[in-house]
Amino acid sequence: MISFVMLIAFCLSVIYAGDYNFSRLSELAQLRYGDEAKKNIVELNQVILSFKNASEDEKLKAINDFFNKKLEFVDDIDLWHQSDYWATPLESIGKQAGDCEDFSIAKYALLKVLNISNDKLRLTYVRAQLYDGDIKTVKAHMVLSYYKTPNAEPLILDNLTPEILPASQRPDLTPIFSFNDKGLWVGGSTQPKASSQTHLSKWRDVLSRIHADGIE
């Protein structure tokens, strides 16, 4: 007879969606980064289980909050000793840090695990207006955009601003191009211009590594 404790342990070790292998992810976290990383993966898994049947708005908030709270912003050169490195969610959780690309990639991957359609999600490069006192600077930045319908105004998931806001309420951001694992869009275009994996080698590479970690 299976005990209640064993049943709970089993439930926490398996996600019913076929695109997420919690056991592999937690084992790799322990092996590569230690106890704290595994603890954070377990916490992430609990979020996924808790919000599996929630509304899409609730899923967006849960994943956005998780990564904004768990990850510290650190530039690639300091974290990875490379000028531009795209990390997997496991790598970001293991380091408990990442830059804007890493925040966006992690949110994208885990929202897909929560069955948010790929067609509704795009990683978006923008020009961001930042202020240091009265001094304004413009920097390249990445956010995750969510489109409820193909022509809807997107909601913006961002590590700079914790609240999820419609794009019209983020005048500090000017979109340049966006992509998901199928297509690439330029500016505010509603139709993809090309295959993202054909034109973005870093994206193709990180998708392969995400898959190897246990996330489709």
Question: Does the pTM of the predicted model rise above 0.85?
Answer: yes
Mean pLDDT of 25-29: 95
Mean pLDDT of 148-160: 95
pLDDT at residue 134 above 60?
yes
pLDDT at residue 215 above 80?
yes
pLDDT at residue 17 above 60?
no
User: Can you say whether the dihedral through the CA atoms of 185, 168, 147, 86 is positive or negative?
Assistant: positive
pLDDT at residue 1 above 60?
no
What does the pLDDT look like over 55-81, one tens digit per residue? 999 999 999 999 999 999 999 999 999
What per-residue confidence (pLDDT) applies to 12? 44
Ramachandran angles phi, psi of 103, nearest 5°: -55, -50
What does the pLDDT look like over 74-92, one tens digit per residue? 999 999 999 999 999 999 9
Residue whose entry in the numeric block shows the structure tokens 């990564």: 67
pLDDT band at 169 (very low <50, low <70, confident <90, very high): very high
Mean pLDDT of 201-209: 91
| Distance between CA atoms of residues 157 and 103, nearest Å | 9
pLDDT at residue 182 above 90?
no
CATH number (domain holding residue 193):
3.10.620.30
Going along 102-210, which residue ranges are E strands? 121-132, 135-146, 155-157, 165-166, 173-179, 184-186
Q: Are 98 and 69 in contact (CB under 8 A)?
A: no
Residue 94's contacts (CB-CB under 8 Å, 6 or more residues apart) are 29, 32, 33, 37
- Residue scoring higher pLDDT (164 or 18): 164
Structural domain of 63:
4-213
Side-chain-side CA neighbours of 76 within 13 Å: the count stands at 10
pLDDT band at 93 (very low <50, low <70, confident <90, very high): very high
Tally of domains within the chain? 1
| Distance between CA atoms of residues 207 and 216, nearest Å | 8
What per-residue confidence (pLDDT) applies to 195? 58
| Distance between CA atoms of residues 134 and 121, nearest Å | 34
What is the pairing mode between strands 97-98 and 72-73?
Answer: parallel
161 vs 11, 80, 169, 198, CA distance in Å? Answer: 34, 24, 11, 31
